[in-house]
Structure 1
């Protein structure tokens, strides 16, 4: 039995390590919730098929449906998800069980309970990314605990492995199907009655399979919050700086042009020149990775100014969409850059710019700005 516990411990450590490695590759990252978030309770009806150490040497049928093996029971569990892919639950299982001494169902009936601490691994979230709208989740688990044969007043150490399937019915309720395999020391089935001489290998343990159907109830907050896209926030700040720098450069160029006109003007009469500052430099609108929805509506403030100038002068605007070349294929980035450009063009139309005065260009995946996330953008410029 010690060997079995070592195997279960190693399995839990290895899979937990896998969960840590897979989490950064999810569709999006999630923020850590408070201690009181993501708790759940479940209640199931159990069908159990028992295989006792005492039947060794007897040619009993192995079918889990024979009446001297099977029995009904129930289970309840309470647990918490610490990440979308890793959780713990405490599970109490039992009521009616078997120790298979004979092929007579009445001889084998006992009352028992099994208390386990189990580690849950949500493979759907670990490998496919967290999605709060996902209906089906595949959740293997491993656990250790203690069993008691109440009829014979025997205790034993136990271990379990299993596969939990859940189907979302609502935000707080899920249907679950739990298939588990449990092993214990041969003490569980009163080994002292003539089988104490067996060793504690897996072949000499008491075992039972359990199929459970029931409901899981999520308590309190049952979802996970997205973490902010840091790259996008940096890009938004950089876009504001780029816009200011562009305005300064444009104003300086206009001042130089006016100064040159004054220096070369031959008319002796003094003239007063009124200059209206025009922002002609491209304005950037940024997007999150793999998205064609504008990351921040604040970017449209600069676009509005450019749209006003274009309407006043009946000028044409060029909207150029970009994607970063580090993610996605060239064909996919071409389509994504087109969508981003179309999104900004639609915003310009809402601002009153004629669609005939808007030219849309898809530049595909590029790496002109650093960091690479700054390339997830669309620019607007007066043609």
Structure 2
């Protein structure tokens, strides 16, 4: 008996592994809406082969082979149930008709039926996410109920457990392969046992293997629900980017106002001094696209001066050190510098006259958003 249970357990574990290996494409995990009462109902029908291990056979040295004729028989089953979530369901299962009372190695008929209320756990959906196109679902179950020997007119309590494997043929139909165990009272097979120790041997046990069909009724499947956390994170990210862009533009406006306020009357040297003032072009968080095209107004003036004087230009890219790794910021600052270099080339500056410097992540300015910039100036 113990060896048989171990074999069934290993078979179930192997089935679970195989079930998940059939889905090599990663499954998207997401939340689903709670379904209505009338959704995700199902009925199941099947044929069983069962093997009985009776209390009264203990000590008689009978073969434990489940395929012995004095032990094995056939049965049919019918179930109705509902999935309340993609991972948890409930079903009522009726089974029986032909069984055995094991007294000796002769044929001992026991016509019976069982009724169990069982909780189903779809581990495929629980661990790998709900997937409406998954072919194989691995579903352990456990429950309790009653049994009745029609031959001997006896009732008893029982516990049930097992492994249900569903192979989806379509949205409405699945093929079932089920292994189960019913642990019953000692007279469930109609004969009161005499074994005194309180363990599995003092109970009547029914092991079964079943093949059947599942028919899904009404509305099936589950609808996605919005990922509130993801939406909040996205909104916060967008808001941070807008705030950073606003801060950058306000800082640049302040710089321009200060430059205009301190500008001296035009003199031959003034133009050169203004052109030699470093020009900042600002970027949004994690981006190499220019945040505001207004920054390019000053770039055009500097490019015009450089062309007229055949001057060299240095473009220095920066990223803020508060976000991203050092390696990421180094690459981002280089992308930003090259972005400005491309603009200068379009304005007529030779690429040979442009030097690129990538500072990586820096914290020279406050607030930190001001560091997301590229600095352009005439090389001294």
TM-score, normalized by length of structure 1?
A: 0.60
1:228 lines up with 2:227 in the alignment: yes
Q: What secondary structure does 1:191 align onto?
A: coil
Shift of 1:236: 2.5
User: Would you say the 8 A contact 1:149–1:155 is kept in 2?
Assistant: yes
Q: Is the 8 A contact 1:54 1:189 kept in 2?
A: no
Q: Kindly state the Cα deviation for residue 167 of structure 1 after the two structures are TM-superposed.
A: 2.4
Write the distance in 1 (CA, Å) between the matches of 2:92 and 2:78: 9
Report the Cα offset of residue 206 of structure 1.
1.4
Question: Per-residue CA shift, 1:276-326, capped at 9, x if unaligned?
Answer: xxx9543358xxxxxxxxxxxxxx9x979869999xx9999x9x9xxx98x
Which residue is 2:207 aligned to?
Answer: 209
User: Per-residue displacement from partner, 1:233-281 (whole Å, max 9, x unpaired)?
Assistant: 333334234324423431442353145225424259xxxxxxxxxx954
Structure 2 CA distance for aligned equivalents of residues 35 and 199 of structure 1? 48
* SS of the residue 2:187 aligns to: helix
- CA RMSD across the alignment: 4.9
Distance 1:150 1:209 in 2: 19
CA contact (8 A) 1:174 1:217 kept: yes
Task: Report whether the alignment pairs 1:79 with 2:78.
Answer: no
SS state at 1:151 partner: coil
Bigger shift: residues 94-103 or 207-216 = 94-103
1:183: how far off? 1.7
- Is the Cα contact below 8 Å between 2:55 and 2:194 reproduced in 1? no
1:149 Cα offset (Å): 0.9
Matched residue SS, 1:60: coil
Across the two proteins, how many residue pairs are aligned to each other?
293
Instruction: Return the index of the structure with the highest Cα Rg.
Output: 2
Task: Measure how far apart 1:184 and its partner are.
Answer: 0.8
2:55 to 41, 53, 56: 53
Distance 1:196 1:65 in 2: 25
Does 1:94 pair with 2:96?
yes
Residue ranges of structure 1 left out of the alignment (5+ in a row): 1-25, 269-278, 286-299, 342-360, 364-379
Give the corresponding residue for 2:239: 240
Gaps of at least 5 residues in structure 2 are: 1-26, 268-279, 304-314, 333-357, 361-371, 376-380
Give the Cα separation in 2 of the matches to 1:234 and 1:226: 16
Report if aligned partners of 2:137, 2:166 keep a CA contact under 8 Å in 1: yes
Mapped partners of 2:294, 2:101: distance in 1:
84
Give a deviation string over 1:55-104, Cα, whole Å, max 9, x none. 33434332222223222211122233334333322211112222223433
Return the offset for 1:226: 4.9
Q: 1:197 to 1:259 in 2, by over 3 A?
A: closer
TM-score with structure 2 setting the length:
0.60
1-structure distance, mates of 2:205, 2:93: 17
Aligned to 2:110: 110
Q: Quick check: 1:53–1:189 contact (8 Å CA) kept in 2?
A: no
Tell me, in whole angstroms, the C-alpha distance in 1 between the residues paired with 2:196 and 2:190.
12
